[in-house]
Amino acid sequence: MVSKSLSPRESGAHIVQHAKHVRVLPEGIEKLSKEILDGLQSKRIGVENFSQHELHPNPDDSKPEAYSGAADWVFVLDTLNFCFWTPNNYTKYKVDGYTGYFALCAAIKRAIADGLNVTNAKFYSEIDMKTVEHIFRSDDGETKIPLIQKRLDCLHEVGNSLLKKYDGRFENVIKAADKSAVRLLELIVEEFPCFRDQADFAGKRVSILKRAQILVGDIWSCYRGKGLGFFHDIDQITMFADYRIPQVLVHFGSLQYTPELLEVLKSDTILENGDPMEVEIRGASIYIIEQVRDEVMKSLKENHPEISPDNVNSVVIDQYLWDYRRQYQADLEHIPFHKVLSIYY
């Protein structure tokens, strides 16, 4: 995983073991596990949720170009899937009324509808700032998508790498992984440096890999775990540690902050990427969701033979909790979140 770093699951356990600013609470993990079980039983949680969203690509088996093209679309989305907030207004950047990640999705979909070949590696490897500004123009005509220069740099980097080694198609990276989610994750991190979301913590190189893992998870979800999206080890992918899921974990009582950390979060201090406080929040998030997943899998095996465990993993749990945060944002807004201006999430 590049320079002998721990895997995300190992990283979560290591970070929690040495954490000074966060605590993991078993009773909250139990409460969260029950919520996930209930979501599975009521079918609110499932691999289909991704493709059902109107802003996501929906691979069409009957059209080969559209089928493989969905992978290129997802690749561009997750290359740019970071930092949609501005320090003074977290939802200022809007596209077609959407905020956050969905504003990005709306901008890409609008560009495709406008005839721009935005998912083509040759196109975005040479894209200029004027075109990037046009593609990601906001509803108010003034607010720029945050970290716009870094987005341009990321597009150039991944576009050139894709052209150089994979004939400009992300499906070729997927095929090189030979149906292994772990190998695909390794390839993404090796081939595209802007996905290397790692840090030094308590004597170890830890891997959080939010965007790299979400890229694997989104490919799996987009293709519903079949064809290009079939991975025999998708259960090895952890949750995608961002700044929003921790709010849900605090809400369920599985994650607790020390008074010192709480003070930093409430003061809207912008942390540096790699700050121990940031690493602890993200690492604990991974650890908690892995514990929840293990608990849910155990319960399915013992008490719910009617629910297939095949598509139950940290990917769908993360997607559910991310949607939960958006659905109940008014109830969760009082819980402060950590703020880092970073390309990693």
Evaluate whether 238 touches 289 at the Cβ level (below 8 Å). Answer: yes
Tally Cβ neighbours within 10 Å of residue 98. Answer: 18
Q: How far is 268 from 271, CA to CA, in rounded Å?
A: 9
**Which residue bears the tokens 């690493």?**
279
DSSP designation for 95: E
Evaluate whether 137 touches 94 at the Cβ level (below 8 Å). Answer: no
Is residue 72 part of the annotated active site? The answer reads no
H/E stretch holding 10:
helix 8-18
HEC per residue, 229-297: HCCCCHHHCCCCCCCCHHHHHHHCCCEEECHHHHHHHHCCCECCCCCHHHHHHHHHHHHHHHHHHHHHH
Q: How far is 265 from 218, CA to CA, in rounded Å?
A: 30
Catalytic choice (242, 268, 275, 323)? 242
Tally Cβ neighbours within 10 Å of residue 27. Answer: 10
Would you please indicate which residues are annotated as catalytic (active-site) residues? 242
